Amino acid sequence: MCRLFGMLSTEPTDAHRYLLDDPCSIYNQSRSDPRRLQGDGWGLGFYVDGTPRLVKSEKPIYTELGRFTSVIEPLSSRLILAHIRRASNPRGLPRERIISAECSQPFMYGRYIFVHNGSINIPDEVMEVLGKWRSRVEGLNDSEVYFWFLMREMEENGVGLPEAIRRFQSTLSDLWEDCRDRHPDKDSPYSILNIILTDGERIYAYTGYDEERYGSVKSLCFGDQPCFEMSYVHTPEKLVVSSEKTNRNEDWQPLRNGHLLTGEVIDGTVRVDIQRV
């Protein structure tokens, strides 16, 4: 389980409220439940004069409040993504191999910035189908193979994100049929496919998880929504998406399972479209 955040605004804006100040800010989400601490790294992605930038750490965010604050205090951007990590380890590797700045999110390629919550349980099998894109994988975070699969489909094969997600799910299903006997300790090819992605103009958020398995798990802070159902708040000036709502005084809406949200600025106003994938 990780924590995701994304914000799109019509003008450069700070996200201090959602990242730190709110009662269920992404920072507070990281430590709100001692049984589910998000302590395996953190990162921010944003744009400076249209150029994507990342700040990442492998340390628990709640031990680096000073550094985190020093990054977000001056930060003002039309697009901001954040990720707090609770590491998955489907390969069963020693912990020191999966906790690093390279394994922390966001991941970036060209103009794209990406964050994921969940586990890809057969990352090596996915690596095998990446072709030349396999060489771009830098760390041992299973989320990274998800990212590069989507990038390959969008950049090399020219499909949109909805189709890229569908192809990833189909590929996982096909691979699982071939390899499940080699993984007796696993009962599915993935756990959760929740992502937030931006191309520097639009922001995309997708909620995808097994409701039968995880639907009864409640959110970390307020405990009043499914844990893996993301939420968003939309005004003409901004769109905020988070793993769960960060406050109770804005009109947060659920991003239902299996749905993809697209936000973009059109004629000076943030517009939102939601489609089933």
Q: What does the pLDDT average to over 50-72? A: 97
Average pLDDT taken over every residue of the chain: 96
pLDDT value of residue 54: 98
pLDDT value of residue 34: 82
pLDDT value of residue 164: 99
Model confidence band, residue 184 (pLDDT cutoffs 50, 70, 90):
very high
Q: Cα dist. 88→98, 105, 175, 229 in Å?
A: 9, 13, 20, 19
Q: What does the pLDDT average to over 208-237? A: 92
Is residue 216 pLDDT above 90, yes or no? no
Q: What does the pLDDT average to over 94-114? A: 97
Is residue 110 pLDDT above 90, yes or no? yes
Task: Dump the DSSP string for 207-276.
Answer: E-B-HHHHTTPBPSSS--SBTT--EEEE-SSEEEEESS-S-SSS--EE--TTEEEEEEEETTEEEEEEEE
Q: What is the pLDDT of residues 15-28, one digit of tens each?
A: 999 999 999 999 99
pLDDT value of residue 215: 82
Bridge partners, residue 273, by sequence: 262
pLDDT value of residue 212: 85
Cα of 57 vs its chain's centroid, Å: 16
Model confidence band, residue 1 (pLDDT cutoffs 50, 70, 90):
confident
pLDDT value of residue 103: 97
> Taking a C-beta distance cutoff of 8 angstroms, is the pair 218, 225 a contact?
yes
Model confidence band, residue 147 (pLDDT cutoffs 50, 70, 90):
very high
pLDDT value of residue 101: 95
- Domains belonging to the chain, first-starting first, are 3-276 (3.60.20.10)
pLDDT value of residue 263: 99
pLDDT value of residue 36: 83
Is residue 223 pLDDT above 80, yes or no? yes
Torsion of CA 203, 205, 127, 3, to 10 degrees: 110
Higher pLDDT, 183 or 35: 183
Model confidence band, residue 32 (pLDDT cutoffs 50, 70, 90):
confident
Is residue 253 pLDDT above 90, yes or no? yes
